[in-house]
Structure 1
Amino acid sequence: MYAIALGDDGAELRPLEPWHAEEFLAHLERGREFINRYIPFGAKATDVDSAREALQRYADMRAADTGSLHGLWLDGKLVGGVLFLNFDAANANCEVGCWLEPAGTGRGLVTRAMRVLIDFAVEQRGIHRVEWIAAAGNTPSLNVARRLGLTREGVRRESYPYRGVRHDLEVWSILAPEWREARTRAAHEDH
């Protein structure tokens, strides 16, 4: 399959498929508490079979063109990923998300991978609106949205009950023309 280099630091974006179940489970076990601070991502993956089921669900979503899962590898080790939680090509809208274990933080991996994901959505699939939703307390996730040039649209107050707390959710988005403009600006700043 594909492997997209995300720079010269050994970081790659690759498909995360059901046959990665053992590696996915080991990754979740290394970072479960960190990953699940704000969302229960992978919480039901507690053994190889349930990890395979979780990955199969996203493989089925990819086949149905309603979502997809992409892993982030650093020096050959799975440390996180990015995904389309909701992909609605007919209405040209999608929602993106991410997760990392501690070993993948502080390197810009999600920002770099998300640029690839959003470029694909906008330029190849014709997506007009890309949405990012994160718990208000999830500062690293919100910082990625800012770095990518997304606009904070508002807060859904106490809308997400998780671990006995009702969390505010921030809604961020970027429209295709804004994405193209931000990407062009970033390219000029890099030179």
Structure 2
Amino acid sequence: MFAITLGDDAELRPLEPWQAEEFLAHMDRGREFIGQHIGLPDAVPDLESARAYLQSYADKAASDTGRIYGIWKNATLVGGVLFRTMDVPQGTAEAGCWLEPSATGKGLVTRASRIIIDWAVRERGIHRIEWITSSENAPSIAVARRLGMTQDGVLRESYPYRGKRRDMEIWSVLGPEWRERRAAQRAASGTVAPNER
């Protein structure tokens, strides 16, 4: 299995069904915090559902329609990033994230998201990456901004969640924008990717 360093004793790795117990323990630590804006904690209340959730992403990976990756800090699973959907023929994908409270404010989601977006754009030819988040989820909106995404619009009261209808913001970045921005960042830092030489 591969692991990509995120710095600060953190790494990004695939999150697989055999890790269901660790995934559930992580979710239990962050259940209320994570559940403020997304339904992931509600989807995995026990070991069987945690395993089924991870298996659904293993199936998506096998059919090339989604991916899920964990973020480990000091060898403890503390969050993750994913492609909730991925339509390679259409060139579209929806990225997302979550973190337990102990991992917030360290830039882990931004760094992990850059890695998976780079992969989707460069290796899979994805043209449009979307980021859909509640208007109340300021940390998620901040990540979209740090990733250089553009706000496409707001779907007013489109998401009923825990007894309240929430506005959902749609952010996106297009493949050509992403490649141009990443090339400029690499040039500014003095590093060039092999396919940019």
TM-score, L = length of structure 1: 0.96
What's the offset of the Cα at 1:180? Answer: 1.2
Aligned to 2:94, the other structure's residue is in SS state: strand
Q: Residues 58-137 of structure 1: matches in 2 within 5 Å?
A: 58-137=57-136
Counterpart Cα distance in 1 of 2:129 and 2:172: 5
Displacement of 1:188 in angstroms is 4.2
State the SS of the aligned residue for 1:80.
strand
Q: CA deviation at 1:186?
A: 2.7
Greater displacement, 77-86 / 173-182: 173-182
Post-superposition Cα deviations, 1:116-164, rounded to whole Å, max 9, x if no partner, equal 0000000000001100000001000000000000000110000000011
Query: How large is the RMSD of aligned CA atoms in angstroms?
Result: 1.0
SS at match of 2:37: coil
The residue identity in structure 2 corresponding to 1:148 is L
What is the identity, as a one-letter code, of the residue corresponding to 2:3?
A
- Whether the 8 Å contact between 1:6 and 1:112 is mirrored in structure 2 is yes
Structure 1 CA distance, aligned partners of 2:97 and 2:133? 10
Number of paired residues?
Answer: 190
Which one-letter code corresponds to 1:2 in the other structure? F
Structure 1 position 189, deviation (Å): 4.6
Q: CA deviation at 1:20?
A: 0.4
Contact kept? 1:13, 1:71, Cα under 8 Å: yes
- Distance of 1:150 and 1:18 partners within structure 2: 31
Instruction: Please name the residue that 1:17 is paired with.
Output: 16
Secondary structure of the residue aligned to 1:54 is: helix
Query: Unpaired segments of 5 or more residues in structure 2?
Result: 191-197
1:155 and 2:154 are equivalent in the alignment: yes
Q: Which residue of 1 aligns with 2:144?
A: 145
Contact 1:42 1:54 (C-alpha < 8 Å) held by counterparts: no
Match in the other structure for 1:48: 47
Using the TM superposition, give the Cα deviation of residue 64 of structure 1 relative to its aligned residue in structure 2, in angstroms: 1.1
Q: How many angstroms apart in 2 are the aligned matches of 1:143 and 1:74?
A: 21
Tell me whether 1:168 sits opposite 2:167 in the alignment.
Answer: yes
Task: Give the Cα–Cα distance (whole angstroms) in 2 for the partners of residues 102 and 188 of structure 1.
Answer: 34
Partner of 2:4: 4
2:42 maps to 1:38: no
> Following the alignment from structure 1 to structure 2, what is the Cα–Cα distance between the partners of residues 161 and 190?
44
1:42 and 1:162 map into 2 onto residues whose CA distance is 13
Aligned residues of 1:94 and 1:130 also touching (Cα < 8 A): yes
